[in-house]
Amino acid sequence: MKKIFANGTDEVAFLADLKKRSGETNKKVTEVVTEIIENVKNNGDKAVKDYTLKFDGNLPQYYEVPREVINDALTEADQEFVDALLNAQEKIADFHQRQVEQSFISAKDNGVIMGQRTRGLHRVGLYVPGGTAAYPSSVLMNAIPAKIAGVKEIIMVTPPLKDGTPNKDILVAAAICGVDRVFLSGGAQAIAALAYGTEEIPKCDKIVGPGNIYVATAKKLLYGVVDIDMIAGPSEILVIADGTANPKFAAADLMSQAEHDVLASAIMVTTSEKLADDTIKEIDRQKEYLSRKSIIEKSLDDYGAVIIAESREKCVELANEIAPEHLEVLMENPFELLGSLDNAGSIFLGHYASEPLGDYYAGPNHVLPTSGTARFFSPLGVASFTKRTAYTYYTEDALRQAKDDIVLIAEREGLTAHANAIKVRFE
């Protein structure tokens, strides 16, 4: 893991290289995904099943998972696992309930009535990776805010296991969260099916959930046909720390994200060179007993670094420049910095708010902006699953008071039909 001193040159060069890791579109992947999308659009379920056979080697036990199979997965599951998911569900729901946006109406003395109607989307598609990359926590993080928003129907798609059956842990999470229907299909073909609809898979208004590069590319290409949550890049963590931080904690937290992917980024910015050295030693020690050691090593070698900064203010400056997905503040009095940390997907304050707490349990969503997009994107939440419609009512007298201004602006823009629509009401 690289050790860099923030001197205005070395850290700038490192951050410039970091931005290149997910910036270029893979043209070959785009070509393949474009062909898949067009085939599914024209041939529906037949195309989806053909791709399943091509990529997975055999068709699943069933295309749509029967409701009794979903219910049986919940009743037959290990009770400790179910209880853990239920505890997480309670905390995630409690946090997201506070995000609910109310409709409003504003009545003026002159009889004008304006307002906004907010309601949930009709139908949302949820993509859940299968196989070894099956994450029940992602089901909770996507489905719970959707339900709170008032989404009427959640359609899940997830790849089957090699034996053609669904992943039981995914079904348990789906049952707990009230997912309405589950189809065994993965990849770009499943995204296309959700976007366009097939004979069996309903057309959705929005698609959410993580996936591989083919899934991410399909979502990107279909944005506009359907809404999506975000264009997700590789996982990221930035730890800003001072001499009060425990290097054992810092090392463990950095590796918790490095294990996701060889493209993942794990960076620490610290005011303490001793902490930097001790953290690197701890990484070397702890990685030896971790199951994804090779992925961690590759990630840290290519995209990891410990940056030595001269002050807390410089740490904050670099954090806002990097705009990380996850930001940990392992510093004395971390709340003092909260008002200055403007660009981050989710912030973890103090020595015991470890990032995996946010992945699974605390309550805030773990679907977060990556690749510096925290400068302008927000985490997934209840608002992600709603739509808003404004409405206006004017009386004749109220429009008469406003007509001259409206006509003047419309005619200045050269839109005479706009002006005429107002004028004709008073001729």
131 pLDDT higher than 80: no
pLDDT given for residue 272 in this prediction = 95
Give the mean pLDDT of 87-101.
96
Give the mean pLDDT of 120-126.
97
Q: How high is the mean pLDDT of the chain?
A: 94
Distances (CA, A) of 310 to 134, 267, 344: 42, 16, 21
24 pLDDT higher than 60: no
Which CATH entry fits the domain spanning 27-107+121-228: 3.40.50.720, 3.40.50.300, 3.40.50.620, 3.40.50.1980? 3.40.50.1980
Return binding residues for Zn(2+).
257, 260, 359, 418
Q: Where are the domains of the chain?
A: 27-107+121-228, 233-375, 394-426
| 43/59 Cα distance (integer angstroms) | 17
pLDDT given for residue 233 in this prediction = 83
pLDDT given for residue 26 in this prediction = 79
Give the mean pLDDT of 76-100.
96
| 267/270 Cα distance (integer angstroms) | 10
Q: Tell how strand 346-349 and strand 326-330 pair up.
A: parallel
Q: Which of 274, 226, 229, 227 is nearest to 250 (CA)?
A: 274
184 pLDDT higher than 80: yes
Percent of the chain with pLDDT over 70: 98
pLDDT given for residue 133 in this prediction = 67
> DSSP readout, 263-328?
T-EEEEEES-HHHHHHHHHHHHHHGGG-TTHHHHHHHHHHH-EEEE-SSHHHHHHHHHHH--SEEE
358 pLDDT higher than 90: yes
Q: Could you tell me the pLDDT band of residue 134, with boundaries at 50, 70 and 90?
A: confident
pLDDT given for residue 359 in this prediction = 93
Return binding residues for NAD(+).
127, 189, 212
| Among 96, 326, 351, 366, the one annotated catalytic | 326
> DSSP readout, 228-259?
ES----S-EEEEEE-TTS-HHHHHHHHHHHHT
Q: Which of 266, 236, 188, 256 is nearest to 344 (CA)?
A: 236
DSSP symbol at 424 = G
pLDDT given for residue 57 in this prediction = 78
pLDDT given for residue 99 in this prediction = 96
* Token duo for residue 55: 């990529």
* Token duo for residue 94: 């409690």
| Lowest-pLDDT range of 179-188, 209-218, 273-282 | 209-218
Q: Could you tell me the pLDDT band of residue 20, with boundaries at 50, 70 and 90?
A: confident
Catalytic site includes residue 326:
yes
| Lowest-pLDDT range of 132-146, 271-285, 373-387 | 132-146
Give the mean pLDDT of 79-106.
96
Most confident of 74-88, 123-137, 209-223: 74-88
| Among 11, 325, 328, 355, the one annotated catalytic | 325
9 pLDDT higher than 80: yes
Return binding residues for substrate.
235, 257, 260, 326, 359, 413, 418
pLDDT given for residue 395 in this prediction = 96
Top pLDDT among 58 and 335 is at 335
Return binding residues.
127, 189, 212, 235, 257, 260, 326, 359, 413, 418
Q: What is the architecture, at CATH level 2, of domain 233-375?
A: 3-Layer(aba) Sandwich (3.40)
pLDDT given for residue 248 in this prediction = 97
Give the mean pLDDT of 182-199.
96
pLDDT given for residue 48 in this prediction = 95
Catalytic site includes residue 80:
no
pLDDT given for residue 138 in this prediction = 93
pLDDT tens column, 390-399: 999 999 999 9
Give the mean pLDDT of 389-412.
97
Are 181 and 101 in contact, with CB atoms under 8 Å apart? Answer: no
pLDDT given for residue 25 in this prediction = 60
297 pLDDT higher than 70: yes
Asked, colleague to colleague, whether 27-107+121-228 and 233-375 share their fold, the answer is yes
pLDDT given for residue 163 in this prediction = 86
pLDDT given for residue 22 in this prediction = 60
Look-up: residue for tokens 């659009």? 41
Strand 265-270's sheet: what is its strand order?
2-5, 305-308, 265-270, 236-241, 326-330, 346-349
pLDDT tens column, 222-243: 999 999 998 888 899 999 999 9
Are 380 and 142 in contact, with CB atoms under 8 Å apart? Answer: yes
Give the mean pLDDT of 39-47.
96
